[in-house]
Structure 1
Amino acid sequence: MYKQLNAHFFFAMKLPVETKKKLKEYCGSLSPKLPFSRWVHQEDYHITLAFLGSAPQEKLQKAAKLAADSIRHEKRFPLHICKLGVFGKQDAPRIFWCGTQQDKHLQDLRSKVYTACQEAGFELETRPFKPHITMARKWAGTFPFQENMLDAYSPFKEKPLEFEASEVVLYQTHLDKTPKYESIAIFPLVGE
C-alpha cells in the first residue's frame, strides 16, 4: 500500500490550495528581506500532527487505520494563521515558520492522531505541540537575524489568514524531489 525505501512518513493537516497560494505570495515579498537559503515549495506547506519517521508497511497501515477511526466523526473547523516565528539559534535560525492561533479543535485532532500513532507502536516526539507551517530553512543573511524582523515584516499584523481545516493526510517524504511530500492517504473531516 505504501512505498518504502527508507522513506519517512508523517500525519499533517493539509492546507487548501488558495491558502498555499496566499502564503507563497507572502514568501515572495518576505524572501528579499529575510534571506533564508531554502524556501519551501508551496505544495509542501502543511501543519505536522505526528512525525513517524521510517516504518514497515504493516505499522503504517495500523497507524492509518487507528487514526482514521479516531477522527472519523471530527468536523471541519476554521484556523487562523496569525504569526511568524523561528526555531534554532536566535541569530541564525534553522527554520522560519508561520503559526496558527491556539485552537482547541486542532489540539484535540492532533491528540487523537498522536495517540493512534502511539497505539500503532510509534515512538513520537514529546515536545509540546506548536502548530506551524515551515516556510524556509537555514538563515543565510550576512547580518545576524533579529527577532523584531518578524513583527516588522509580518503580513498578519492587520488580519490573520483564515482557512478551513478539512483534511488530515498521511505523507511520504521524497528528499530527492520537489515538491518533497507525497500524499499517500487522505482522511477528510466531516462537513457541516
Structure 2
Amino acid sequence: MGTHYFLAVRIPRQQSAIIQSLIKQECSRMPFKRWVHPFDYHITLAFLGEPPSGEHLLQLSDDLSEIIEGRLPSFHLDFAGIQTFGAADSPRILWLGVRPSKTLMELREEVYSCCIKNGFQLDPRPFKPHITLARKWDGKDPYLNPDGWNPESIPSFEVPAIDLLQTNVNEEPKYKTIRSFPLTGADS
C-alpha cells in the first residue's frame, strides 16, 4: 500500500485535549477496537488516496494555493452531537459532529472541485462534516450512545487554514501536515 493523502481542517490542540478528556470520562468503557489519537482529530474535506504521481500532488497544491490563500475567509466552527456510521448496534465509526456552516460547505466545494479538476477520484457521497473518534465496535452488547456527554461545552474554534495531510500508518499520531493553505483573516 502506498502513501495516502487528504485535505482537512485540523482540530486545534486545545479542543482536542478537551475532547480527549470527555472521552476518558464518558466513553472509555466503550469497546471500540481503535481510538483516534487526539492530535489526529480533523474534518476531511477530500480524501485523495495515493496520487498518480508527485506531479499531480504538486499541481493540486499550486492550484489550491491560488484558490484559498488570501481569498477565502477564516471562520469559526461549533461542535455538535456524538453520532455513528454503520449498524446502530455495532457501528463502524464513532464521531463528533460540527454545527452546519455555510462557509465550511462552500470551502469544501472549492477544495473538492479543485481536486476533481486535477484528476483525483473522490468519494461522491454527500459531505457530512465530522471528527472520527473511534473505529470498529467490538462489544458483546449492542452499542448505546454515551449519556451525559455535552459536545456543545467544547469551545468553538477558528479555522485558520486547510491542511494537506499525509498518512503514516506505522506512526502515532499518524497524520503529518505536508502543506497548509492559510485562510484570510486568521488569528496569528
Q: Give TM-score scaled by structure 1 length.
A: 0.90
Aligned with 1:168 (options 136, 156, 162)? 162
Q: Which residue of 1 aligns with 2:27?
A: 31
Displacement over 3 Å in runs of 4+: none
Counterpart residue number, 1:51:
47
Report SS of the residue matched to 1:182: strand
Residue correspondence of structure 1 range 65-84 to structure 2 within 5 A: 65-72=62-69, 73-84=71-82
| Map 1:38-187 → 2, pairs under 5 A | 38-55=34-51, 56-72=53-69, 73-146=71-144, 149-150=145-146, 152-156=147-151, 159=153, 161-187=155-181
The one-letter code sitting in structure 2 at the alignment partner of 1:177 is E
Write out per-residue CA displacement over residues 44-82 of structure 1, whole angstroms, 9 at most, x where no aligned residue: 000000000001111111111112211121111110011
Distance 1:178 1:32 in 2: 19
Structure 1: which amino acid aligns with 2:92?
R
Matches of 1:177 and 1:31, distance apart in 2: 24
Q: 3-state SS of the aligned residue for 1:108?
A: helix
Give unmatched runs, 5+ long, in structure 2: none
| Structure 1 SS opposite 2:56 | helix
1:101–1:173 distance in 2 versus 1, CA, 3 Å? same
- The answer to whether the 8 Å contact 1:82/1:161 transfers is no
Structure 1 unaligned segments of length 5 or more: list them.
none
What CA RMSD, in Å, does the superposition of the two structures yield over aligned residues? 1.5
Letter in 1 for 2:57: L
